Amino acid sequence: MDNNKNQNDNNMGLNKTPGESTAEDNSDNTNVDLEEFESVSNEIDNLNNILDTMESNVDNIKDQLIDILMSNREILKELKEENQKAAETKEKNPEGDSGNQMESP
């Protein structure tokens, strides 16, 4: 009778030696592995979506910075032209605006 008990225990996986597995254990491990794989896959997909969003944001910021840089260059060019014209006007009329002012009594 002990022989039958041991055989039943072995069939149920109760008398396993380390490293030995049953079909039920393999099925459970496969389910856990598939669930874990799916979970990791979903996390990777989420990370990819986040990275895509970040990349898009970086591209938008880069475009805005380029626009600001171009605008600043244009403003600087205009200011230099205005300063150059003012300097040329000053050279032609060294007295500046003082000649246009009314004298006080």
Domain locations in the chain as residue ranges? 35-88
Residue percentage of the chain with pLDDT more than 90: 49
Output the pLDDT for position 22: 59
pLDDT digits (tens, 9 = 90+) for 31-40: 778 889 999 9
Report pLDDT digits (tens) over 47-58.
999 999 999 999
Task: Give the model's confidence band at 96: pLDDT under 50 very low, under 70 low, under 90 confident, else very high.
Answer: low
The predicted structure's pLDDT at residue 17: 54
Which of these ranges, 19-23, 54-58, 68-72, 80-84, has the smallest mean pLDDT? Answer: 19-23
Measure the N-to-C terminal CA separation of the chain; round to a whole number of Å: 137
d(CA 8, CA 77): 93
Q: What percent of the chain has pLDDT over 70?
A: 63
The 10 Å Cβ neighbour count of residue 26 is 10
The token pair that represents 36 in the structure block:
């874990």
List the single range of 2-11, 45-54, 81-90 with lowest mean pLDDT. Answer: 2-11
